[in-house]
Each structure stands twice: as structure tokens, then as C-alpha cells.
Structure 1
Amino acid sequence: MLALIRAEAHADIGSDHAKLPIRLIQSGRAGRCVVVELNPGPLELARRNVTRARLEGHIEVRAGDGFAPLAPGEVDSASVSGMGAGTVAGILRRAGERLPPALVVQPNDSPWPVRVWAREQGYHLAAERLIPGYWPYPVLRLERRDGPDPVYADAGLPLNAALRYGPHLLREGSGVLRGQVQADLTRLTPLAAPGRTAQTELETARAAWDLLQP
């Protein structure tokens, strides 16, 4: 996630322990950070960690929900991570004019709702990563640009597969993505039947698998 962020002013929404902003400042990838945390326990932890790192002059910790503690135009980019994709998309929808021109998000499940939101709101998918772990963690960098996102314009790339697995990731065809798609095929095959959601998901996984073949 760190590699996809570079900004003069960056906000980490739902930061928890403030480790990402601390690393951004220490690595020179951000000049100033704002930490936003709603819950009292993580909020206090973030403050302690910033103080321990002696970065109070570079990182400000604020209590609040989502982007509400930020002023419009205050930051160049923001990150939202460690939540379900539906929760992330909800936070982005409520942000309104406080949204910065660049976003880096890491949902804990399928990024489909975030990719759909981005296409609707004029944010292009500039880059994406799939990080191996307990399960594959998707990380997306979104940038506000004019016009439709060209990354979805390839006629040979089924939209459902691109929204589920990622257009950049499908083109790269990493072993991590292959493993994820194969696991989905194994999980969905016994559940699929006409009219069921699992059937649609299985067809999407099959389309992605076809694209990943040499």
C-alpha cells in the first residue's frame, strides 16, 4: 500500500494505530498526514504512536467519522483500508466535496463495490495490487480524471470479470490472482444453479480463468 501513495498532504481514514502515516512521513512519501479515527481506543493508540515516533509536527490525529473531520481541498490523497468493500464504498459516498483527487483503498473482500463507485464518480483505476496473505488483499489507487476509465474499454475484457478481479490484475495474470480465481471456481461450482447468485459468480470466475490462460 505504501508504494501507491505519494502526496504533500495525505489523510488516513480509520487509521487505527497510525502506522501507515508514520511510515509515509519516515519514508518521505508524504510531507504531512492527517489521521482520522472514530473509536476512542484506536484514537488514543494512534496519538501514542505518533508521539512515540516524535512526529507530532507532521501528523495530526483527529476524532471523527470518515472524511467529516477534513476540510474540502485540505489533502491531496487519502487511504481507507482494513474494512469491507461495502463499508469503504459507503465512506467514499458520504465524503462529498471532501474527497481528494487521489485515493488508495484496501478492502478486506471483493473490491467490486469500490470499482463500481469509482467508475460512477469519475475516478480512474490508476494501479492495483493483489497482496498475498491469509487471503489475497487487493489494493487500488484511484485518481479523479475526465471521461470514462479507459482501463475498462477493452472489448476482450468482460466487465463483470474486470470489476470482480481487476482489469490491471487480469492483464498481469499473477500467480496470486490465478490462485484466487481457481479457489473461487472450486468454491462456487457445487453451489451454482440457474437463478442463484453463485451461478453468476461462477460465470464471472470462468470468464476470468479463460483470460488467464496462456
Structure 2
Amino acid sequence: MHPVLDARLQAVLELIQAEVHADIGSDHAHLPIRLLREGRVRRAVVVELHPGPLAQARRHVVRSGLEGKVEVREGNGFAPLHPGEVDSASLTGMGTGTIVGVLERAGKRLPPTLVLQPNDSPRSIRQWALRHGYHLTAERLTPGYWAYPVLKLERRTGSDPAYGGVPERAALRYGPHLLRQGGALLRGQVQDDLVRLTPLAAPGRNAESELATAQEALAFLDNPT
């Protein structure tokens, strides 16, 4: 069994390299199976809360012939893991609020490396990382039903150099690495925000601040420093 990954999960896969990796909320277990097939991890732990996806993950692991290298566990978030058990973890296909909640509850079970793919704006994930000593070491933006962000976080000391020389509000909203890369997908996202927010902006309204953030992002894209 060699599962095919869509663009967003392929981007997640390309940011993972670890001895032991946990895929939290794995659903079908396709990602950890591919990670093992490609030699990106030596062992994987699949965590799934819901009975249907849990059974599906177990079936796919058996069909892959990787039972000795993949363990499927039932549970919520990082709860089924022991502190220090895994080197990295991924959470994909969830809302940003859900991901941040899982990270907040993980406590000492959090590994030193995280690869996260939220389904909406990852601003609160970037803010969480800054508060908890994780540096944003890589970002991707992948096409799909909408533009899917993928973030790699690594636990490190000191301030995060990713944010140096980039407007703070724009960096938190759109991503410091993505702004420096200046890809067409991000530029389209910023321009869409400008069109959407311009008629809504008025003094004191949230849309006014969001519009200013999009304008900062566009100015940086046009004239990166």
C-alpha cells in the first residue's frame, strides 16, 4: 500500500524528518504510512479519537504491512503519548482554534518539533509559538479548495529570527517566510483580503485593522527589505 497524498499533506510530509513521529487526528493514517515508506521516520504513532477513523487507520496500517513500525492509539490529542516518547508530531486538517487547544492541553507531552496544517488563518498558531518557545523554521502555502498553510515549529531558545525585518502584524497574519518568498499564491491571498476588507473598513471596526495589515503585507511584497 502506497497512499497518494494531496498537495497539502505532501507539503506536510516534506517538512518531517524524525526518529519517532506522532500524527495526531490521523484519520486514514496515510501520512505516517508514507513517512515510513520514504524513510522520513523510523517509527510512527497514530492517534485518533473517533471510532470510524480509528478503525480505518488500523485497517490501512494492516494493509500496509507496517504493523511493527506504526502503533495506532485511541485518544484525544497528545493524551495517549508519554512525555519524550516522540521527536515530532503533526496535526492536519483542523481549525486553528482546535489545533491551539490541543497544543495548550499537551503540556510535557509536546515534542520539540511540530508540523501543523490548519484549515484557516494560522495567526493564533504563530502567536502560540512565540509565547511557548517554538521558532517558525519553515512555511508552505499549498493550493486546494483554498490556500492551505503549513508551518514547521521547533523548540529553541531566544527570540525567533523569522520575524526580523518583516512587519509584525503582516508576519503574524500571512507568515514571515511566506512574505519573504513572495509567491503568487500568497500575493493572491493578500489581494483578495484587500478587495474583501476595503468596503467593510471603518474607524474602530476590526476590518480597519485587518485592512491595514493586508496593506502592510502588499507593501512588503512590492518592496521587500
Band of TM-score, shorter chain:
over 0.9
Cα RMSD over matched residues?
A: 0.7
1:130 aligns to what? 141
1:206 matched to 2:207? The reply is no
Q: 2 CA distance for matches of 1:153 and 1:206? A: 19
Q: TM-score, normalised by structure 2?
A: 0.93
Q: Deviations over 1:160-183 (max 9, x none)?
A: 100000000001100010011011
In the TM superposition, what is the alpha-carbon distance from 1:158 to its structure 2 partner?
1.4
Deviation string 1:59-95 (CA, Å, 9 cap, x unpaired) is: 0000000000000000000001101111111110110
Q: Give the deviation of 1:153 after TM superposition.
A: 2.6
2:110 alignment counterpart = 99
Which residue, out of 11, 14, 28, partners 1:3? 14
How far apart are the structure 2 equivalents of 1:83 and 1:197? Answer: 24
Task: Look up the equivalent residue of 1:38 and give its one-letter code.
Answer: L
1:193: which partner in 2?
Answer: 202
- 2:99 match: secondary structure: helix
2:66 corresponds, among 19, 36, 55, to 55
1:27 to 38, 42, 46: 38
Identity value in percent: 67
2:183 matches 1:174: yes
Q: How many residues align?
A: 212
In the alignment, structure 1 residue 76 sits paired with structure 2 residue 87: yes
Q: Structure 1 CA distance, aligned partners of 2:197 and 2:50?
A: 37
Unpaired segments ≥5 residues, structure 2 = 1-11
SS in 1 for 2:77: coil
Shift of 1:115: 0.2
Alignment-derived partner of residue 152 in structure 2:
141
**How much does 1:192 deviate?**
1.1
Q: Distance in 1 between matches of 2:93 and 2:201?
A: 29
Equivalent position amino acid for 1:31 in 2: R
Residue 67 of structure 1 aligns with which residue? 78
1:134 offset after TM fit, Å? 1.2
Partner SS for 1:138? strand
Matches of 1:125 and 1:85 in 2, distance apart? 16
User: Secondary structure of the residue that 2:89 maps to in structure 1?
Assistant: strand
Q: What do residues 9-67 of structure 1 show as CA deviations (whole Å, max 9, x unaligned)? A: 00000001101000000111010000000100000000001111111011000000000
Classify the secondary structure of the residue corresponding to 1:5: coil
Moved over 2 A (4+): none
Query: Structure 1, residues 92-126: CA drift from partner, whole Å, max 9, x if none?
Result: 01100000000000000000010000000000001
1:165 aligned to which of 168, 174, 189: 174
Q: 2: distance between equivalents of 1:187 and 1:55?
A: 48
Secondary structure (helix, strand or coil) at the match of 1:60 reads strand
Amino acid paired to 1:166: G
